[in-house]
Structure 1
């Protein structure tokens, strides 16, 4: 997974976008999911991300997207994990996120991490 993005949609709904590449030398049928978990690993939200499901060839790049509604999620810090299944393996990208309440709507922000 090359990149994961989170963008406000309407109300407490957010669009998840992921860009992934097949850097290996085998082809596979990709399946991409987004999961929001508490720090202890308890799942809070989950969504399948849509995108081309046909065979993904080596060196191919694809985009996947989906929607998560945070209206029922309590304020706090969570992990957003985007995972892609390929064959019997899984690759993931994890983003720490902060959920807060502002003017009756849930606001979700990615917590920046220093990747030195």
Structure 2
């Protein structure tokens, strides 16, 4: 469970690093925005690297990446709604459903045990 929590927290930082400037720093010079985003992303790496290290062995590399992508999209949907004020359109919802199916196929069908770490 620590892997999932760390991945979630890291994705909150990364979402703000990548997209927060669209709302909060759009009037700043691009170079300053890039430096600020790098500073925020530093904290993402401080959480992402341990998440992957602790998770590998419980999950395969593929599974870690799939988990990370689902968390990324989940965090972004909330961010887009609350921070950017964007609505979830039907086609985006269908896209998320397709990703949910990918998770099912990755974890629900003949799951192979992770390699010993």
TM-score of the superposition, structure 2-length normalised? 0.27
TM-score of the superposition, structure 1-length normalised? 0.27
* Structure with more contact order per residue of length (Cα contacts < 8 Å, sep ≥ 6): 2
Q: Decide which structure has greater helix share.
A: 2
Q: Decide which structure has greater strand share.
A: 1
Question: Larger C-alpha radius of gyration, 1 or 2?
Answer: 2
